[in-house]
Amino acid sequence: MQQIALPPPLHDLQREGLAWREAGPTSPTPDQPATPILFLHGLGGSRIAWDAQLLDLGRDTRCIAWDMPGYGQSDPLVPLTFAGIAQQATRLLDILEIERAHVVGLSFGGQQALYFALNHPERLNRLVLADTSAEFGGDGTDVEEWKQLRLAPLDAGRSPADLAEDIIDSITGPGFGGPQRLQAIAAFKRISSSGLRAAVHCLPSNQARGRLGEIKAPTMVVVGELDDETPVAYSEVLRHEIAGASLRVLSNIAHLTPSEDPVAFNRILREFLV
């Protein structure tokens, strides 16, 4: 009778100002993949947003999901910049004694993954970009209007925890519910007001498009068919301008592909990374 591997335990760790959650074997064996996976969450997430991936892929692969600087239990980075975030990600790999990793980034985390790939290519094996973009303002979005829309509730005294449910529901598909929705909301609620403010100011500085040709790592782009935050057209740019990149469009879901359809998303990761 075939044995079914049990979900791995999740370990919450903190060291040198960085906090993360991980699952899976910490040392490679002949039967285990040698390359760990580093997960970078979005603007409205934190390390627990990736639990569906850690509980699945962590059965046989070391998986690490961080709180980005200023989020969750990680110390802030002042000023918060994409280059600085990418440097902190490499510092986490140093702490974990990991030479090279696969990197999976969602939305704002996907933008961070681009800068990781561009600035630290020697630390990257394969790259997965989910529901993200290569530049801000390519569709004509005004930077100050975009910032004001997201900062106004904070200026009015509301916290990220107050905003979590409405925002998660606004960026996900109509069928999103159950434990995955609750987990996404819980991940958002772990954000501090100062962390969210810093991220809102940082995100519009994303201008990686002119450098996409520098990325040499094998790359997979994933996007939800109904994603209005970073539409399929944004993913098409990434697919066309990163040499050899492939694109997967997941049907009937929107901006949070890892949470909205974790079965399909995890299958794609297994096919591409493991």
Walk me through the domains of the chain, giving residue ranges and CATH numbers.
11-273 (3.40.50.1820)
Q: What is the pLDDT of residue 1?
A: 44
Instruction: Of 131, 145, 134, give the one whose Cα is nearest residue 211.
Output: 134
For a pLDDT cut of 70, what percent of the chain falls above it?
Answer: 96
Q: What is the pLDDT of residue 35?
A: 95
What's the mean pLDDT when you consider all of the chain?
A: 95
Q: How far apart are CA 229 and CA 57, in angstroms?
A: 27
Is the model's pTM score more than 0.75?
yes
The answer to whether residues 95 and 15 touch, using CB atoms and an 8 Å cutoff, is yes
Query: What is the token pair recorded at 173?
Result: 């598909």
Q: What is the pLDDT of residue 201?
A: 98
